[in-house]
């Protein structure tokens, strides 16, 4: 590197007093859950693949990265077997009635549930597809609701169904509420997850009753 370029870099560093200072961590409530009117319009306009991603995120409460890795081989009539990418945590998640009905309407095949002409699909591709749908929506704030917010929708639904922290975590895989997660292993997780999802199913059935 010649002298002139070194001087330019030095000048840039001196003009940036924030260089090297850690970013301030602001407190927030995290990703926003999707309101009912946004959900209704999205469901009406969604492409089949975007709707599948939406139903999987909502039904399982998982991160979009884990949803895109879900394979048909890991789906049984009673639930999903998966290992979370971020936590490396194995989970068994019972299907909600809604998700079970939705998946029964799809063709079961080899490989992943969400694909691009049979091939694995990237997060970027799905993000672009979801944004394109929200851009067509009439809801003024549609673009503000991100796919990850559906994980919060799932969490809220579980709480509204009367689930406690441990039951919620057994479905979503969240960590950090005390040390109870270290006790009981996968058997305990399966039992809690069954109770949590059944409570959620009861809530959904009651809501749809005439």
The per-residue pLDDT for range 115-148, each reduced to its tens digit, is 988 899 999 999 999 999 999 999 999 999 999 9
74 touches 167 (CB < 8 A): no
Superfamily of domain 30-205: Intergrase catalytic core (1.10.443.10)
Write down the domain spans for the chain: 30-205
pLDDT at 44 over 50: yes
CA–CA dist 35, 164 (Å, integer): 23
State pTM to two decimals.
0.74
């Amino acid at each position: 590197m010649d002298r002139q370029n070194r001087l330019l870099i030095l000048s840039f560093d001196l003009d940036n007093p924030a260089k090297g200072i850690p970013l301030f961590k602001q407190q927030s409530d995290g990703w926003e859950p999707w309101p009912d009117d946004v959900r209704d319009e999205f469901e009406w306009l969604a492409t089949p693949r975007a709707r599948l991603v939406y139903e999987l995120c909502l039904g399982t409460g998982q991160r979009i990265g884990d949803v895109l890795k879900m394979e048909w081989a890991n789906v049984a009539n009673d639930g999903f077997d998966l290992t979370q990418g971020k936590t490396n945590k194995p989970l068994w998640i019972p299907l909600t009635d809604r998700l079970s009905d939705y998946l029964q309407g799809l063709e079961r095949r080899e490989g992943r549930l969400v694909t691009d002409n049979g091939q694995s699909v990237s997060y970027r591709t799905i993000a672009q597809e979801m944004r394109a749908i929200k851009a067509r929506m009439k809801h003024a704030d549609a673009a503000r609701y991100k796919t990850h917010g559906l994980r919060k929708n799932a969490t809220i639904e579980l709480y509204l169904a009367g689930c406690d922290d441990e039951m919620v975590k057994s479905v979503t895989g969240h960590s950090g509420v005390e040390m109870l997660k270290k006790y009981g292993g996968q058997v305990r997780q399966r039992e809690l997850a069954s109770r949590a999802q059944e409570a959620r199913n009861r809530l959904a059935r009651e809501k749809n009753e005439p």
